[in-house]
Structure 1
Amino acid sequence: MNAQRDRSMLTSLPAIATMLLGLMLLVLAVLRWRDNGWGALVWLVVFILMCVIRTPHSMRNRANVVIEARKDAAEIVLLAAMFLAMMGLPLIQLATGLFDFADYALPDWATVIGALAQIPFLWLFWRSHADLGRNWSPGLEVHDSHELVTNGIYARIRHPMYAAIWIATLAQPLLIHNWIAGFLVVPAFAAMWFIRVPNEEAMMRQRFGDAWDAYCARAGRLLPRRAS
């Protein structure tokens, strides 16, 4: 028991260190909001709300008993690149100004569009987690009581959470005017979408068979299918 407890503590130390570093960068970024512009402040507020939405689901779903997980090198690289581009690099830039050399200028109306886009993003992000419940996980995993969710927002869209992240991805360069901290998330998430989603759908097809195929026939990937 003591050895198991020690291993658990060791594996949690990097997560705790990452969380503390993130909190420190977040505080510094908020203090520098006038230097970064109001669009960056909107990004920071939405980042906090996104964490508030996801954290309870992450903590609760740790109890899931995973029976299949696809964590190959490509999956690890995609997740790391997305985390860095969507969260890490923006926080570093807004807290320190390290990438100021890569700044660009945009008109105010572009920043307004980026800010308004956060409304559908947050709604879709929240609704996706709420409808998935215990079936959500950050990685490509299937747990012992995994269900095919086809209700709520999933009744007409197979990947509303990816749709939400696409909105956030395309809005980020409008809020953070920097090629590294703002724009780099676009190719990072595009790579995740085109590489990861086919693997995810293959896993669902393997798990749910004909039920998955019937669901795909009536629900679009990112947008609802037109009624035939």
Structure 2
Amino acid sequence: MESYIFKTVIFVSLIIYGLIRMPFMKKCKLKQNIKSENLSYEKFKVFIAWLGMVLVPMIFVFSNVFVKFDMNLPVYIRILGVMGLIADAIFFYYIHKELSDNWSPVLEIKAEQKLIKTGVYKYIRHPMYTQCWLWVFCTGIVASNWFVLVFGLVTWGFLYFTRVFNEEKMMLGEFGTEYSDYMKQTGRVFPKIF
């Protein structure tokens, strides 16, 4: 019975993430792309991440294919994962709201793009990446499944590590010293302590 509850939580969380992102996808398509970085490879990387962050969790929800990878975590640990997913969804919405039409699913600069340095961006340059790490980790904990957790971390990690440095290079090219000063004041995915 409890496995159905946790599977339902994962399913609902994926729907919520989709509903949060949908209006921003529409806004993104309306703005003209003025600079992009190998768009077909970027789309491929997004697809790979989607496999681990969406498709595998959905397969987990609707089948028992990954049952041999169960972690058998205690219920209270899985509930902590649920709480993490709730906090993560709120964070996801807040980040998208802060970025507004400056967000893009791929590495590109849009017309009239601004460097956002308010809200959470005052402390972290890439809070969306922080949010994705948390999402993947919490989904794996709620699923209590090694395959869901590790595959999600690997596919998201592939996108993150092949993108973040190129993204910062692109932002430096677009915003110059404003971005380099911003880099000195902020952490990449966690706030700077000192």
Aligned to 2:34: 67
Aligned to 1:125: 92
Aligned to 2:187: 220
Question: Which region of structure 1 is more displaced relative to structure 2, 114-123 or 203-212?
Answer: 114-123
Instruction: Look up the equivalent residue of 1:172 and give its one-letter code.
Output: T
The offset of 1:74, in angstroms, is 4.6
TM-score by length of 2: 0.91
Aligned to 1:157: 124
2:88 pairs with 1:144: no
Q: Alignment partner of 1:68: what SS?
A: strand
- Pairing 1:43-58 to 2, within 5 Å after superposition: 43-58=10-25
Aligned to 2:161: 194
Aligned to 2:70: 103
CA-to-partner distance for each residue in 1:6-52, whole Å, 9 max, x for gaps? xxxxxxxxxxxxxxxxxxxxxxxxxxxx4843222221221111111
The offset of 1:212, in angstroms, is 0.3
The offset of 1:142, in angstroms, is 0.5
Which of the numbers 35, 55, 58 marks the counterpart of 1:91? Answer: 58
Aligned to 1:11: none
Larger RCO, structures 1/2 (Cα 8 Å, 6+ apart):
2
2:76 pairs with 1:113: no
CA-to-partner distance for each residue in 1:162-201, whole Å, 9 max, x for gaps? 1111111111211113333343101112222222110111
- Structure 1's unaligned 5+ residue stretches are 1-33
TM-score by length of 1: 0.78
**Counterpart Cα distance in 1 of 2:125 and 2:18:** 23
**Counterpart Cα distance in 2 of 1:73 and 1:180:** 28
**Counterpart Cα distance in 1 of 2:84 and 2:7:** 14
Aligned Cα RMSD in Å? 1.8
Aligned to 2:46: 79
Instruction: Look up the equivalent residue of 2:74 and give its one-letter code.
Output: P
Question: Which region of structure 1 is more displaced relative to structure 2, 216-225 or 69-78?
Answer: 69-78
2:9 pairs with 1:39: no
CA-to-partner distance for each residue in 1:93-118, whole Å, 9 max, x for gaps? 31233333433321112202211112
**Counterpart Cα distance in 1 of 2:192 and 2:41:** 30
CA-to-partner distance for each residue in 1:135-168, whole Å, 9 max, x for gaps? 0011111112111111122111111111111111
Instruction: Look up the equivalent residue of 2:90 and give its one-letter code.
Output: W
Describe the shift of the 1:79–1:103 C-alpha distance in structure 2 as closer, same or farther (beyond 3 A).
Answer: same
Percent identical residues: 27
Instruction: Look up the equivalent residue of 1:140 and give its one-letter code.
Output: L
Contact 2:6–2:142 under 8 Å retained in 1: yes
Describe the shift of the 1:108–1:36 C-alpha distance in structure 2 as closer, same or farther (beyond 3 A).
Answer: closer
Aligned to 2:147: 180
The offset of 1:56, in angstroms, is 0.7
Q: Which has the larger radius of gyration?
A: 1
